[in-house]
Structure 1
Amino acid sequence: MRKFFKIFFIVLLVIFAGLYFAGVWVFNQYTLANTYINNKDFSFVKKDQIKDQYEEKMKKLQVTVQGRHDLKDVFKAQDIGYYEELRGKVDLGQNPWAWPILFFSHKDYKLESKLIYNAQVLDQRIASSPFMTDPTATDPKDAYVTYKQGKGFVIEPEVQGSKVAPEKLKHEVLKALKNEKSKLDLNKENVYHDPKVTKDSPYLKNQLASLAKISSINVVYDFEDRKEELNGEKLLALYTDDGQGNLNPDPEKVKAYVADLAKKYDTYRGTRTFYATGGQAVIVQGGIYGWRTNQAKTGEELLKLLNEGQSKTLKPVYSQEAMSRTQNDIGSNYVEIDLTRQHMWVYKNAQLMVDTPIVTGNPSKGNATPTGVGRVWSKERDRYLTGDNYKSYVHYWIPYTWVGVGIHDSSWRSNYGGKIYQSGGSHGCVNTPPKNMPKVYENIDYGTPVVVYKS
């Protein structure tokens, strides 16, 4: 029995020795199992053929590319002259004598290589692929804030496009071939022209919050028989984006809005259609009467209101006011002077209080009474009116321009009306019969408009 085990052991030793040396001989010429070169399986490859097989293996690669709208294409390495060349002498340094120990272990070698392909052919291949020639391909659309009836301002989500960036597609195809990937899903790669702004954008969220606040604001300027509402797009135009989506009132835009408001509604030194006594409509231009907006203070008030996000009905801040805020700002208390008819009428509460002939400025001497709508800014009794060559005492003095023109009694005259003014007129003032002047004085208040025209 001992002899049998001895013989068995010797035979077993001879078999193992034979297997070992056979392995030494084989792995002296071939690579070991689990041999990887640049992540590519090169197990049991003849060592002197590694370089050639490496290149040939790459030439046989192909990748199926799947994109949006069910588009598909196959890129073959051989069509674009693609392969990877190992640089220098290939020596893995595998010890065949240690093959039993190394056989089952994973062996990964990083060797220097050079990627070779025909760039011009690849560019042409990319350009002719269905991903680039698809006539139904669409551009992406950025998310944006919009207004929807019944919902208010909302964020409209972005829309994914189906247009491929050629350079990105080229990069992904080369990457897939290099990594021996047989499939490439463009939906998972960054190759499409994607929207730059998404619905999760902090910018859009800030903008949405700002627009929701602005949409709740309604500022109304009350002009008695007219109203100017500031809301919606007109209001939004007064805001400026801070670059982060926050909309803030812009002082310069508010200033411009108030200037437009004043231009539209101010009547100071304006042009008016006036219905003269007798029914004739006349155009009267200029004069110091009318509404005049204090634009600086009105702008400050509006800017404060917008910063606080408040709605309010208000009136502009005025530096000068008139008798009425209606479109006919002259109202029912006024003085009417017709230079052609040389006549003056005084109305109070729409009732005619004084009806008198007058004598106005002498046009032949350059002293014509100016037309326009003046404003009574003072009332004085018993004073002297002086000029370069005159000094006249009057019992009543009512100036209505800034250049010394006014209404006064004229005791030195005995006749009024007609064409007296053309040769014997005043220095510009409205000479009134002394007997009528007390009633004129009584029925004219500070701020009363004085309408002077030629019929």
Structure 2
Amino acid sequence: MANETNEKDLFFGSEDPGKDPEPVVPAAPAASGKEELARQIAKNMAMNDNDDDDDDISFAAVPAKKEVQPQMSRQTSYSRESSRSSSSRSHSSSSGHSSSRKKKKKKSHAVDIVCGFMALAIVGGVIGAYAYGKKAYDGVFLANTTINKIDVSKLTKDEAIAKLTGQIDFNDKITITKRDGTRVDIDLKQLDFSSNIQDAVTQAYEKQNHNLWFKSVMGNESSYEFDPDSKFNETKLNAIIKKNVIEGQNVIESKNAYIDRTDDGFELVKEVVGNSIDEDKIGDIYAYISSELAKGNFDISIADLDVYEKPSILASDLQKQYDSLAGIADIEISFDFVYEKATLKGSRFIDWLDFNEDGSYSVDRDEVNKYVDELAEKYDTYRKDRKFKSTNKGTITVEGGSGIYGWWLNTEPEGGMADYITELIEDGKSVTVDPIFYSSGGIDYEGNPDCWTAKDDIGNTYLEIDFYAQHMWFYKNGKKKWECDIVSGLPTEGRNTPEGVYKLWTKESPSKLKGENGGDKWETTVSYWNNISDWGTQIGIHDATWQPYFGGELYKWSGSHGCINVSYDSAKYVYENVPIGTPVVAYWE
């Protein structure tokens, strides 16, 4: 079907009787065959018109008479004169014979006249029958005529149009089915719809040569075929589609699949395939419906037409993530804090996950930071007050002070525990790992793992310094190995040695000490340098051969710039016998 019908021949593969020549009325045959020809023509016309009750024309058969040829004389006449002479000479002898020949000639002329009238009657009958038949088929299709295999014999054009229209499937409406199952009916009259049946019937009628009507009566068939087509107003069609199909619907937006957190775990929510139409593809709807209507399809579905907005994420795209998330509750991420493991279970961090539309998820860093703070609060010992069993004063509390010994969990927002935990959660695997502690300038802010317990991280191997007593002890595995008097820092704001739990970081022998404190500058070379602080405070245990003695109250007027002054032998002992990493507990209790 097309929305325009060109003025052209609609038919294909048909017999075209219109090319036959104009009929010629048969001429009278020679005298010897007139009767037989008349009889045969009448017989054929009568026999082939028996199918038409209204136009039945019969011709009576006229029996043929055998023509009698007159007997010709064998005498030969030479001339009128000699004939006359001969006649006069023999007049008397042939008078009887002459009378007999005249009677025979009269009889022969009578037969000729009868045969002539009969021939004229036959020719007149043929002409009359032809004229009557031509009039009978005037304005109607010839006998044995079909259009698209539908018999239209002896029908007028209007009757043929009505018959074809009734049998060829041209509806009075088109029905458009949308994705949501709703149906929209459009009356074809609204589209100025018309078919090409009328043109096809007219062309078929005009192709027939009605002058040769008797050929169809004698069994000659005329068959015409054409493609049913139509015309309609495409502008009106598009306007109705836009109003009733595109705009006149309950829009269901397409939605992406996603993974939802539920009380029981996770749920894979499937995508929603809606009926919202892609604005860029509205023209495709117009073109499709128009083409289907042009093909003669009156029930048109656009449900599966590729014009709808589609979800960009399907459930199948998220299946892998969903399968991995389904086991999150069983994941355990353990951190080895030497004396025990802190385990972060999936059943807890599952609530920290924020799921994206594409099925991926992000970890709530605020929740991770809170968890890191919990770990630091429980496991950090760096600069925290500690209970300590002193040599002379029993159990005391040593303030964290400036001491740098202990475990200090890295809580930095980047590169610390928060990043580490986030990565482990995203990996989605059960693992046991070491925590991340601060490390700076070659100094690891960690304690002695051999002595770390839930209540203590100093253990039984340590250096003990009592500032009030100005005395130092070294214990190894709980046994005192060395003790000596000391001189600590001058008790002023800039030179006083702060209490705290320190750590033997580095050793050097010899070592040049150079610094500035409170406006005082110094530069001194010592034999043994045992550093117990970070690089900022530079507190160490070293030999101070310039001191007149050690202990007592010497520190009050000859105190150091903050270091622990000891004798040469004591500095050497520490250098040679106290391991790096040994805690140094210094207090003013």
Q: TM-score range by the shorter chain?
A: 0.5 to 0.7
From 478, 482, 505, the counterpart of 1:377:
505
The letter of the residue matching 1:431 is N
- Structure 1 partner of 2:458: 331
- Structure 2 partner of 1:416: 551
The letter of the residue matching 1:76 is D
In structure 1, distance between residues paired with 2:259 and 2:156: 63
- Structure 1 partner of 2:227: 108
Which range is displaced more, 398-407 or 98-107? 98-107
- Structure 2 partner of 1:26: 140
- Structure 1 partner of 2:532: 400
Which entry has the higher C-alpha Rg, 1 or 2?
2
- Structure 2 partner of 1:83: 192
Distance verdict in 2 for CA 1:436–1:116, change over 3 Å: closer
* Alignment check: 8 A CA contact 1:336 1:450 kept: yes
Instruction: Tell me whether 1:220 sits opposite 2:347 in the alignment.
Output: no
Structure 2 counterparts to residues 91-240 of structure 1, below 5 A: 94=204, 96-97=207-208, 104-108=223-227, 115-117=234-236, 123-126=242-245, 129=248, 131-132=249-250, 139-144=253-258, 156-161=269-274, 167=282, 171=286, 181=297, 183-184=299-300, 195-199=311-315, 201=316, 203-207=317-321, 218-224=332-338, 225-229=340-344
In structure 1, distance between residues paired with 2:400 and 2:309: 64
Distance verdict in 2 for CA 1:317–1:64, change over 3 Å: closer
- Structure 1 partner of 2:385: 273
The letter of the residue matching 2:404 is G
In structure 1, distance between residues paired with 2:135 and 2:372: 105
* Alignment check: 8 A CA contact 2:191 2:232 kept: no
* Alignment check: 8 A CA contact 2:175 2:186 kept: yes
In structure 2, distance between residues paired with 1:210 and 1:73: 46
In structure 2, distance between residues paired with 1:162 and 1:359: 88
Distance verdict in 2 for CA 1:93–1:417, change over 3 Å: farther
- Structure 1 partner of 2:105: none
From 432, 445, 457, the counterpart of 1:313:
432
The Cα offsets for residues 350-402 of structure 1, whole Å up to 9 and x where unpaired, read as 67888877432236594443666432135689x687657575777x7533235
The letter of the residue matching 1:274 is R
Instruction: Tell me whether 1:447 sits opposite 2:447 in the alignment.
Output: no
* Alignment check: 8 A CA contact 1:24 1:96 kept: no
Distance verdict in 2 for CA 1:443–1:180, change over 3 Å: same
**Pairwise CA distance, 1:323:** 0.6
The letter of the residue matching 1:401 is S
Secondary structure class of the residue paired with 2:401: strand
**Pairwise CA distance, 1:426:** 0.8
Distance verdict in 2 for CA 1:303–1:275, change over 3 Å: closer
Which range is displaced more, 317-326 or 262-271? 262-271
In structure 2, distance between residues paired with 1:33 and 1:27: 11
User: Runs of 5+ in structure 1 lacking a partner?
Assistant: 37-42, 251-256
The letter of the residue matching 1:407 is I
Secondary structure class of the residue paired with 2:560: coil
The two structures have a TM-score, normalised by structure 2, of: 0.48
- Structure 2 partner of 1:284: 401
Question: Share of identical aligned residues, percent?
Answer: 22
- Structure 2 partner of 1:430: 564
Query: How many pairs align?
Result: 411
Secondary structure class of the residue paired with 2:399: strand
Distance verdict in 2 for CA 1:148–1:434, change over 3 Å: same
* Alignment check: 8 A CA contact 2:191 2:236 kept: yes
Distance verdict in 2 for CA 1:268–1:438, change over 3 Å: farther
Larger strand fraction of residues: 1
Distance verdict in 2 for CA 1:232–1:401, change over 3 Å: same
User: Runs of 5+ in structure 2 lacking a partner?
Assistant: 1-35, 52-129, 211-215, 363-367, 515-520
Instruction: Tell me whether 1:362 sits opposite 2:490 in the alignment.
Output: yes
In structure 2, distance between residues paired with 1:61 and 1:350: 104
The root-mean-square deviation of aligned C-alpha atoms, in Å, is 6.5
The Cα offsets for residues 209-250 of structure 1, whole Å up to 9 and x where unpaired, read as 666798887553311334244768969999xx9x9x9x9xx9
